[in-house]
């Protein structure tokens, strides 16, 4: 751990690092069709804020794990996230043509290859995670699988699609986001931590509470940015929630109240970390960064 | 092991068993959207010959594994196979409306849910496998991930799509099928075996050689049945290879030569098992069954 490093430097270094890790992992695919590999690279490389990877590195530091061990879980959660974006953008899902400032994967490669690139990124996430020298790699694969699956990320996407054009309560919206983005964020946090010393039950509960609050804050800010941002700053289509008649924190609460809600969730995230004192500095910084970001 | 049980009884019992195992695994999804769960059940339950599960049970018997341990790998490979069918049938891929005698998943549930059901079945395959009390569950997850991914099953589907309307050599066709169906068949065989005593290098090589020959035989027979079978006996669209201008063993070799090729591959599969003597009886029987099936 480098406690004196400014957050921008720390996060920039890790964003650079995860890019290398992902690039190397994808190169380990002898015999794969070149066009499919190209689509996998397109979907996962050179893009995104790497929030999930940063969370894994931060909790790895918290439990004294070597960054080289955390590389695996960090890459795995980023691959799962990238696969979900490639699939969510497909015409039969959210039908979005712009992602991370570039044409969506299916616009660039066609629907069939984008679908398969998502499928193979999911598989490779487990290949990468299964190779990590952790105490209990089976538990790690189980945790990631459940976070990605029907009770987690992909299940949340199904709930999301089912509510297009309907009015949800704030509680239902929260449940949906806890599945759709919260589950993978929690997995990133837990998998990074599990690369180091074993956590006590109180510490696990604290990290879960942090994950819940920070994950929801991330989503509320996303909803606000969808209204206030532009495609140029967001790198994805702005105003698409309204265009798709999706229930959001902004449609339910209004912009001002949604911003207050994000700030309250950020405070909740900070409070959840009290257990760890100064050792959780990077997690505090990530929560603030999530809440104050402009894209 | 019940050495005197006729193959039809043995396989029927295990087909029944895997159905129960899959049903129970899918029930372990509290909080998942009901419609998504229904689509997952639709895609994976009550269908198919369960070739992959039978292979896992057979190699588990070969290495002295308890069937209760093999249940996990057997369910995992069937979930991966079912997810691949749900995705392959989508309009952007093979666009097939009939599967296992029923409307394809996307016809019954819509494209978005069929896509997500495939995604969540893949995730759940790893959740199920990761829970198996095997010697090295990390190695097992890695093996399944690589078999399912860009160098295996999903990569083979990409190769298949890229060759629609083109003429492939028999060697290229073989490479494609070794990825598209062979990789998962090999994984089923290895994962079942890995539930019992450790294999020697010679035994591993023998099982791989068996997997290669039996997997290819399966595919050649599939190509013949696509020409000679009807939708009623196949439970899927007959003649679709020709309709989709896909290169097959029949288009390359003709029906008679394709049948001879299947018989030769079956012989090769039998020879590969010499190492095991009578202990591999079920694998011999499965190879014959694969080659002589009518659907």
ipTM at complex level: 0.95
What is the pLDDT, as a whole number, of residue B234? 64
Closest CA–CA distance from residue A103 to any residue of chain B (Å): 18
Q: Residue A83 and residue A105: Cα distance in Å, rounded?
A: 10
Is B130 among the domain residues?
yes
Here the tokens at position A143 are 């945790």
Closest CA–CA distance from residue B276 to any residue of chain A (Å): 30
Contacts of B282 (CB under 8 A, 6+ apart): B7, B10, B54, B57, B58, B61, B62
Q: Residue B207 and residue A101: Cα distance in Å, rounded?
A: 48
Q: Residue A95 and residue A108: Cα distance in Å, rounded?
A: 14
Other CB atoms within 10 Å distance of the CB of residue B195: 28
Domain encompassing residue B229: 7-292
What is the pLDDT, as a whole number, of residue B165? 84
CA separation, residue A46 to residues A99, A108, B27, B32, B194 (Å): 12, 15, 39, 32, 39
Name the pTM for this structure: 0.96
Q: Considering only CB atoms, which chain A residues are within 8 Å of B87? A: 115-116, 119
CA quadruple B217, B220, B225, B231: dihedral sign: positive
What is the pLDDT, as a whole number, of residue B100? 84
Other CB atoms within 10 Å distance of the CB of residue B3: 10
Is A172 among the domain residues?
yes
Is B1 among the domain residues?
no
A120 CB within 8 Å of a chain B CB: yes
Is A1 among the domain residues?
no
Evaluate whether B15 touches B50 at the Cβ level (below 8 Å): yes
Q: Considering only CB atoms, which chain B residues are within 8 Å of A146? A: 123, 127
Is B236 among the domain residues?
yes
- Closest by Cβ to A141, choosing from B37, B116, B126: B126
Other CB atoms within 10 Å distance of the CB of residue B219: 24
Closest CA–CA distance from residue B3 to any residue of chain A (Å): 33
Tally the domains of chain B. 1
Is A2 among the domain residues?
no
What is the pLDDT, as a whole number, of residue A238? 67
Evaluate whether A83 touches A118 at the Cβ level (below 8 Å): yes
Q: Residue A205 and residue A276: Cα distance in Å, rounded?
A: 12
Evaluate whether B291 touches B263 at the Cβ level (below 8 Å): yes
List per-residue pLDDT tens for chain A, 295 residues long.
Answer: 455 689 999 999 999 999 999 999 999 888 899 999 999 999 999 878 999 999 999 999 999 999 999 999 999 999 999 999 999 999 999 999 999 889 999 999 999 999 999 999 999 999 999 999 999 999 999 999 999 999 999 999 999 999 988 888 999 999 999 999 999 999 999 999 999 999 999 999 999 999 999 999 999 999 999 898 766 666 667 677 777 778 899 999 999 999 999 999 999 999 999 999 999 999 999 999 999 988 7
Evaluate whether B114 touches B33 at the Cβ level (below 8 Å): no
DSSP state of B3: T
Q: How many CA atoms within 13 Å lie on the side-chain side of A27?
A: 6
Q: Which residues in chain B (148-167) have CB-CB distances under 8 A to chain A? A: 148-152, 154-155, 157-159, 161-162
What is the pLDDT, as a whole number, of residue A92? 95
Other CB atoms within 10 Å distance of the CB of residue B200: 10
Is A147 among the domain residues?
yes
Q: Residue B193 and residue B276: Cα distance in Å, rounded?
A: 13
Low-confidence ranges of chain B (pLDDT < 70): 1-4, 230-236, 238
What is the pLDDT, as a whole number, of residue B215? 97
Evaluate whether A96 touches A89 at the Cβ level (below 8 Å): yes
What A221-224 contacts at long range (C-beta under 8 Å, 24+ apart), as own/partner pairs, is A221/A262, A221/A290, A221/A291, A221/A293, A223/A248, A223/A249, A223/A250, A223/A258, A224/A249, A224/A250, A224/A255, A224/A258, A224/A259, A224/A262
The length of chain A in residues reads 295
Q: Residue B225 and residue B291: Cα distance in Å, rounded?
A: 11
* CATH number, position A181: 1.10.600.10
Q: How many degrees, rounded to 5, is the angle at CA B111 between CA B36 and CA A75?
A: 70
What is the pLDDT, as a whole number, of residue A63? 97
Q: What is the CA radius of gyration of chain A?
A: 18
Here the tokens at position B185 are 């068949």
- Closest by Cβ to A122, choosing from B36, B123, B138: B123
Counting one residue from A and one from B, how many pairs have CB atoms under 8 Å apart?
A: 177
Q: Residue B190 and residue B142: Cα distance in Å, rounded?
A: 12
3-state SS class at B4:
coil
Q: What is the CA radius of gyration of chain B?
A: 18
What is the pLDDT, as a whole number, of residue A231? 63
Q: Which neighbouring-strand residues pair with B102?
A: B99
What is the pLDDT, as a whole number, of residue B2? 54
Is B248 among the domain residues?
yes
Here the tokens at position B286 are 């499965």
């Amino acid at each position: 751990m480098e406690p004196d490093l400014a957050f921008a430097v720390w996060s920039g270094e890790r964003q650079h690092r995860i890019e290398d890790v992902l690039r190397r992992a994808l190169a380990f695919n002898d015999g794969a069709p070149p066009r499919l590999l190209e689509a996998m690279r397109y979907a996962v490389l050179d893009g995104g804020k790497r929030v999930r990877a940063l969370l894994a590195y931060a909790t790895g530091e918290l439990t004294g794990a070597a960054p080289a061990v955390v590389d695996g879980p960090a890459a795995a959660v980023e691959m799962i996230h990238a696969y979900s974006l490639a699939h969510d953008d497909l015409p039969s899902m959210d039908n979005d043509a712009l992602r991370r400032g570039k044409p969506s994967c299916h616009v660039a490669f066609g629907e069939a290859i984008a679908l398969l690139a998502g499928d193979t990124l999911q598989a490779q996430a487990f290949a990468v995670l299964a190779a990590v020298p952790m105490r209990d790699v089976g538990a790690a694969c189980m945790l990631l699988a459940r976070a990605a699956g029907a009770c987690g990320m992909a299940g949340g996407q199904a709930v999301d699609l089912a509510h297009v054009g309907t009015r949800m309560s704030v509680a239902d919206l929260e449940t949906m986001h806890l599945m759709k983005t919260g589950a993978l964020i929690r997995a990133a946090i837990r998998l990074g931590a599990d690369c180091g010393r074993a956590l006590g039950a109180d510490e696990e509960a604290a990290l879960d509470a942090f994950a819940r609050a920070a994950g929801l804050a991330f989503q509320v800010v996303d909803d606000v940015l969808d209204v206030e941002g532009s495609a140029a700053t967001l790198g994805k289509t702005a105003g698409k929630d309204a265009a798709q008649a999706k229930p959001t924190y902004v449609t339910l609460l209004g912009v001002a109240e949604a911003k207050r809600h994000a700030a309250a969730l950020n405070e909740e995230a900070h409070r959840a970390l009290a257990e760890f004192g100064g050792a959780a500095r990077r997690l505090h910084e990530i929560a603030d960064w999530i809440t104050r970001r402009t894209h």
